[in-house]
């Protein structure tokens, strides 16, 4: 969709962009070869439009995603995804709570569509900084409000990448609720992790710190599931967004692949945590 995009050009909004399409101009190259292009674009930007489109082609050829991040409104950043898919990473974090600095990151998973990598507090978390800078696009769910600010505060790093937050992309399509609700709405089933949530993840970390390695493995399995499912959601969201545009041929398909989560879920640990949680709740109610 990026090659069909004109609203990143100074002076061109989405209304003029659609007018360009209606003239039969569908791509940057077609626009550059269109003799009357300047008549469609309002002055004083008409003269600079061709040089800017040449520059856009050059930036795309060089893979400079940040150029489009700077010139496209954030709600149109989803258009970049297919062109930078090989430089995209899906990311999700787990923490001890919601408020740094008293709370901290316990685990991070990144997934580039092929490889899963996990970074764990007290084991290999510092390696995350170097690894994340290999990518040009980051995809999260609610990462603009939580994951990225938390990582910036906790790890002291800045993220120059294009950031696609599926919470807001899906909301623009009418989807509400958290990650699990959105997954369920498009048919993604978590299996053994179906009832695990962020609070369970906090309790799993606590149990690991008490000496239970199975709790850490279950936590990482949950974190990985959160992350790899983002790819399915991103492709789905891209195709749904595309329905509003005259380019059905640009829809994406997700190649079927079996992603093996390298961590085992331990149902007995989840049952134990659930039992301890409800026992605590009951005790508090009795005291009240």
3-class SS string, 184-208: HHCCCCCHHHCCCCHHHHHHHHHHH
User: 17: closest CA among 245, 257, 221, 264?
Assistant: 245
Q: What is the pLDDT of residue 14?
A: 94
Residue 72 lies in a domain: no
Residue 172 lies in a domain: yes
Band (111; pLDDT cuts 50, 70, 90): very high
Q: Give me the mean pLDDT over the 156-164 stretch.
A: 96
- Containing H/E element for 47? helix 46-61
Q: What is the pLDDT of residue 43?
A: 80
Q: What is the pLDDT of residue 42?
A: 80
| 8 φψ region: left (φ > 0), alpha (ψ -120 to 50), beta (else) | alpha
Let me know whether 56 and 170 are in one domain.
no
Let me know whether 50 and 116 are in one domain.
no
Let me know whether 58 and 191 are in one domain.
no
Q: What is the pLDDT of residue 68?
A: 97
Q: What is the pLDDT of residue 288?
A: 43
Q: What is the pLDDT of residue 287?
A: 43
Query: Are residues 8 and 33 in contact, defined by beta-carbon separation less than 8 angstroms?
Result: no
Query: Are residues 229 and 123 in contact, defined by beta-carbon separation less than 8 angstroms?
Result: no
Q: What is the pLDDT of residue 204?
A: 96
Q: Cα–Cα distance between 79 and 238 in angstroms, integer?
A: 8
Q: What is the pLDDT of residue 144?
A: 97
The beta strand positions in the chain, using DSSP E, are: 88-95, 105-111, 116-120, 137-140, 162-165
Let me know whether 26 and 104 are in one domain.
no
Q: What pTM was estimated for this model as a whole?
A: 0.93
For 42, the domain range is: 2-62
Band (261; pLDDT cuts 50, 70, 90): confident
Let me know whether 56 and 189 are in one domain.
no
Let me know whether 104 and 149 are in one domain.
yes
Query: Are residues 55 and 190 in contact, defined by beta-carbon separation less than 8 angstroms?
Result: no
Band (285; pLDDT cuts 50, 70, 90): very low
Q: What is the pLDDT of residue 286?
A: 42
Q: Cα–Cα distance between 157 and 148 in angstroms, integer?
A: 10
pLDDT in tens, 120-146: 999 999 999 999 999 999 999 999 999
Q: What is the pLDDT of residue 280?
A: 60
pLDDT in tens, 10-21: 989 999 999 999
Let me know whether 21 and 99 are in one domain.
no
Residue 46 lies in a domain: yes
Per the structure, how many domains does the chain have?
2
Output the furthest CA–CA distance in the chain (Å, rounded): 80
Q: Cα–Cα distance between 273 and 266 in angstroms, integer?
A: 11
Residue 9 lies in a domain: yes
Q: What is the pLDDT of residue 182?
A: 95
Q: Give me the mean pLDDT over the 64-80 stretch.
A: 97
Q: What is the pLDDT of residue 37?
A: 87
pLDDT in tens, 232-252: 999 999 999 999 999 999 999
Let me know whether 196 and 150 are in one domain.
yes
pLDDT in tens, 161-191: 999 999 999 999 999 999 999 999 999 988 8
pLDDT at 257 over 50: yes
Let me know whether 42 and 120 are in one domain.
no
């Amino acid at each position: 969709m990026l090659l069909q995009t004109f609203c990143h050009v100074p002076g061109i909004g989405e209304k003029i962009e659609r007018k360009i399409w209606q003239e039969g101009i569908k791509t940057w190259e077609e626009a550059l070869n269109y003799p009357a292009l300047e008549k469609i674009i309002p002055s004083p930007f008409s003269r600079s439009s061709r040089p800017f489109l040449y520059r856009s082609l050059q930036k795309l050829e060089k893979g400079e995603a940040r150029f489009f991040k700077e010139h496209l409104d954030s709600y149109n950043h989803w258009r970049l995804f297919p062109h930078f898919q090989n430089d995209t990473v899906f990311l999700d974090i787990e923490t001890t709570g919601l408020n740094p600095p008293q709370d901290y990151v316990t685990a991070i998973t990144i997934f580039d569509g092929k490889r899963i990598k996990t970074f764990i507090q007290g084991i290999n978390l510092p390696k995350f900084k170097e690894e994340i800078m290999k990518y040009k696009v980051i995809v999260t769910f609610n990462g603009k409000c939580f994951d990225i600010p938390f990582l910036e505060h906790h790890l002291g790093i800045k993220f120059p990448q294009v950031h696609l937050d599926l919470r807001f992309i899906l909301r623009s399509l009418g989807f509400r609720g958290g990650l699990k609700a959105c997954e369920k709405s498009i048919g993604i089933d978590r299996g053994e992790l179906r009832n695990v949530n962020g609070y369970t993840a906090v309790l799993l970390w606590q149990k690991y710190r008490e000496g239970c390695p199975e709790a850490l493995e279950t936590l990482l399995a949950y974190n990985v599931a959160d992350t790899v499912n983002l790819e399915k959601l991103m492709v789905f969201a891209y195709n749904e967004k595309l329905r509003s545009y005259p380019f059905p041929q640009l829809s994406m398909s997700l190649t079927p692949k079996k992603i093996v989560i390298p961590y085992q879920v331990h149902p007995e640990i989840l049952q134990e945590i659930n039992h301890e949680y409800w026992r605590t709740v009951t005790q508090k109610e009795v005291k009240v």
